[in-house]
Chain A
Amino acid sequence: MNQDRRDFLVRAGKVLVLTAPAAAYWDALAAGKTEPEEPAYRMADHFWGMIVDIDKCIGCGSCVRACKTENNVPLEPFYFRTWVERYHVESLSEHPEVDSPNGGYNGFPEKYAAGDKAKSFFVPKLCNQCAHSPCTQVCPVGATFESPDGAVLIDQTYCLGCRYCVQACPYGCRFIDPRTNTVDKCNLCYHRITKGLTTACCENCPTGARQLVDLKDPRDPVHEFLRTHKVHVLKPHMATGAKLFYNALDGSVR
C-alpha cells in the first residue's frame, strides 16, 4: 500500500512537471506557431514621408500607372491615389494654366510650344500623410487614422462611406471606391513599406523624382536633403503637418 502511494506520488509529480510545458506547447500549437517571432516591422521605429523633386519630374505617368496597378485603383479618370499635374505659368499671369489628362496616366501630349515665354513643369500629387490630418479628425467612427509610423491609413471594413473625410481633405486626395462604397487614398503602399520595400510609384519613377523617406531613420538621406534644399509643402496655411516635401515648388501650385 505504501508502495502504491509512493508510485502515485512519483507519477503525479511527473505529470505535474510535464503539464506546464504541455499546456504551453498546446497553446502554441493551437495558435499555429511553435515559437514566438520577433516582429520584423516595428511601427515605433519609423515615421514615413516623401520627397518630390519637381525639377526631376518628366510627366511620364509611370507613377500613376504603377500605383493603379499595384493598388487595384479603378481605371476611370476620377479615382486616383496619385496623379500628375502640368503647370504652365506665364510671367505676369495671376492664374496658372493647369491640366492633368486622365491624371497623367498616359503621360502628357505636347501642348505648349518651346520658347513661349512661360514656364512649364509637372507636379506629382498624392496623400500628404499629414501629421495633423483634417481627414482623420472628421471621421465619425475613426475608420481613418494616423498610424504611429506616420502613414494615414483607412480601415475599409469600418468605413461608413459618409464622405466627410473627402470634403475635409484640402488636397483632393480621397475618393470613394465605387466597388466597395468606402473611401480610398494613397497609403504609401503600406503593404510594401512594412516589408522593407519602397512604394510602387517611387520604384517606377525613372528619374528618381519621388523618394519615400523615413524621418525617424538617422541614416536616411532625407535629413541631408532637407538641410541642403529649399523644400515646401502644399497649402502650408492649412497647418496640416504635411509630410510630402516638394523641392523647387513654384508659388503658383495649389
Chain B
Amino acid sequence: MEEGLLHAVQGYMYPNEVELQWSILIVLYPFTTGLVAGAFILASLERVFNVAAVKPTYRLALLSALAFLIVAPLPLQLHLGHPERSIEMYLTPHTSSAMAMFGFVYLWYLMAVLVLEIWLDYRKDIVLMSRTETGWKKTLYKVLSLGVDNISEESLRIDDKLGRFITIIGIPSAFLLHGYVGFIFGSIKANPWWSSPAMPIVFLFSAIVSGIALVMLMYMAVCVLKGIPIDMPCVDTIARYLFYAFLIDFSIELMDLIHRIYEADESFQSLDFMVHTRLYTSQILIQIVFGTIVPLGFFAFTQLVKLSESARKGIYVLAGCLTLMGIFAMRWNVVIGGQLFSKSFLGYTSYKMDFATKEGLLPAIVLLLLPFAILWVLVKVLPPWEEPHDGAKAETAAA
C-alpha cells in the first residue's frame, strides 16, 4: 500500500497529503443533496409559479426529493471515523464550523419543508385510503393521517393554502440547503481549487439542473413502465426549464473559469497542469464536453427546431442522462480534484478507489440505488398519480 501510494505522487507533496481524505462517498453527498434541491425547485414551479404544464410530475418530484434526502446523510455517516459521535454535531455544535450547521439545515429541510408539504398534499388521499383499505394498510394510513380525518372543503382549502406557504418557504430552504453545501467547499481558503465565492452559486444551479433532469427522466420511465402515454407538453416544459437553468449554471462556471485563468494567481500553474493531466478525462471530456456542451446543444436544438415527438423523447432521454453524468463529474472534480494537488503547488497524487471497502465503489453504488428503492416504497404507499387510488377503491368495493 505504501509503495503504491508513494508511486502515485508526482513532484512534491507534503507527506500527510499523500493519502486522500475524502473519497467517492463525499462525492455522493453534494450529488444527492443537489438532486433533492433540484427536484424540489421543479415541484415548486407548479405550486408557486403556476406552471401548470409540469403538474404531472409534481408529486413524483416531491417523493423523489424525499427519497434522496433520506439517503443524503448516509455517505457522510459511513465516511466518519467515529459515526457513533455524529450526534455531537446536534448536541454541541461548533458555531463557527460550516459543517456543524449541516444537521440543522438538513433537519429543517426534511421535517419543516418536505415531509410537511408531502403530508399536506396527500392528506386527503391518506384519509380516504384509511377509510377504504383494510388490515395493516388501514392502520398504516390511520397512523399517517396523524388522527386528522377532516377532509371537508374548508379543511382542504386550508391545507392548500398552508402547502403553498410551505413551498414558498421551501424555495429559499432548497437554495440554502445546496448553496450551503457549496459553501462547505467554497469557504476553505487553504484550497484554491475550492475557495471561491462562486462555489455556492455554482452548486445551487448545478443542483437545480440535476434535480430537474432526474425528475424528467423518472417521469418518462414511469410512464413507459406503467404503459401510459408521456405528457409531451409537460416534458417539453421541463426540458425548457432545464435548458434555462443549465445555461445559467454553465455561464457562472465559465465566469469562474475565465476569472481564474485571467487572474492566474500562485495556484494557477499547478491547477492548470492538473486539469490538463489527471483531471483531463473527468473534467474536460466528461464534465465540460459530454456532460455540458453536448446536452446543452441537444436542448438548444429542441428549442430551435420543430422535431417529432419521438425525436424529442429520444433527445430528452439522451441529454438528460448526459446532464446527470456531467453534474456527477462536476461533483467528482470538485471533491476529488481538490485533493489531487499539493497545497505546496509542487506535486500531485492520485485517487485509487477501492471496491468492496467501507468507502469503496460498492457502497457508493448501493447508496446511489437506495433512493430508488425508497422511492419505490414511497410510491406504493403514496401513489403520486390519480388513478390507482380509484382502482384501489374499486378493488375494495369488489372484495
Query: Known contacts being A138-B98, A172-B344, A254-B344, is A167 close to B93, with CB within 8 Å?
Result: no
Across the interface, name the chain B residue whose C-beta is closest to A137: B96
Query: Known contacts being A77-B6, A78-B18, A140-B93, is A160 close to B190, with CB within 8 Å?
Result: no
Q: Among B12, B14, B21, B81, which residue has its beta carbon within 8 angstroms of that of A167?
A: B21
Across the interface, name the chain B residue whose C-beta is closest to A100: B15
**Binary interface encoding of chain B residues 4-18 relative to chain A, with 1 for a CB under 8 A from any of its CBs, else 0:** 011000001111111
* Residue count of chain B within 8 Å CB distance of chain A: 44
* Number of A-B residue pairs with CB-CB distance less than 8 Å in the complex they form: 131
Cβ–Cβ contact B97 & A137, under 8 A: yes
- A96 interface contact, C-beta 8 A: yes
Cβ–Cβ contact B99 & A134, under 8 A: no
Which residues, 89 to 136 on B, are CB-close (under 8 Å) to A? 89, 92-94, 96-100, 102
Tell me the smallest distance from the CB of A164 to a CB of chain B, in Å: 5
- Taking residues whose C-beta sits less than 8 angstroms from the other chain, chain A's interface range is 35 or more
Q: How far is the CA of A79 from the CA of B343 in the complex (A)?
A: 16
Cβ–Cβ contact A159 & B81, under 8 A: yes
- B306 interface contact, C-beta 8 A: no
Tell me the smallest distance from the CB of A114 to a CB of chain B, in Å: 22
Across the interface, name the chain A residue whose C-beta is closest to B85: A160
Q: Among A77, A80, A160, which residue has its beta carbon within 8 angstroms of that of B80?
A: A160
Q: In the assembled complex, which residues on chain B have CB atoms less than 8 Å from the CB atom of A174?
A: 16
Cβ–Cβ contact B94 & A163, under 8 A: no
Q: How far is the CA of A169 from the CA of B22 in the complex (A)?
A: 15
Q: How far is the CA of A106 from the CA of B328 in the complex (A)?
A: 43
Q: How far is the CA of A204 from the CA of B280 in the complex (A)?
A: 46
Cβ–Cβ contact B16 & A138, under 8 A: no
Q: In the assembled complex, which residues on chain B have CB atoms less than 8 Å from the CB atom of A103?
A: 15
Cβ–Cβ contact A80 & B92, under 8 A: no
Across the interface, name the chain B residue whose C-beta is closest to A142: B94
Stretch in contact with the other chain, from A20-28, A175-183, A189-197, A225-233:
A175-183
- A170 interface contact, C-beta 8 A: yes
Tell me the smallest distance from the CB of B349 to a CB of chain A, in Å: 10
Tell me the smallest distance from the CB of B12 to a CB of chain A, in Å: 4
Which residues, 1 to 56 on B, are CB-close (under 8 Å) to A? 2, 5-6, 12-19, 21-22
- A141 interface contact, C-beta 8 A: yes
- Point out which of A78, A100, A173, A181 has the most chain B C-beta atoms below 10 A from its C-beta: A78
Cβ–Cβ contact B191 & A167, under 8 A: yes
- B155 interface contact, C-beta 8 A: no
Tell me the smallest distance from the CB of A254 to a CB of chain B, in Å: 5
- A15 interface contact, C-beta 8 A: no
- A7 interface contact, C-beta 8 A: no
Q: In the assembled complex, which residues on chain A have CB atoms less than 8 Å from the CB atom of B190?
A: 134, 167-170, 238
- What are 23 contact pairs spanning A and B, CB under 8 A? A77-B2, A79-B16, A80-B15, A83-B14, A125-B14, A134-B189, A139-B97, A140-B100, A141-B97, A141-B100, A160-B85, A160-B86, A164-B97, A166-B16, A167-B190, A172-B342, A172-B343, A173-B14, A176-B81, A182-B81, A182-B82, A238-B189, A254-B346
Known: A80-B16, A141-B85, A142-B94. 14 other contacts (CB 8 A): A77-B6, A78-B5, A79-B15, A138-B98, A159-B81, A160-B86, A161-B81, A166-B16, A167-B338, A168-B190, A169-B190, A172-B16, A173-B16, A238-B189
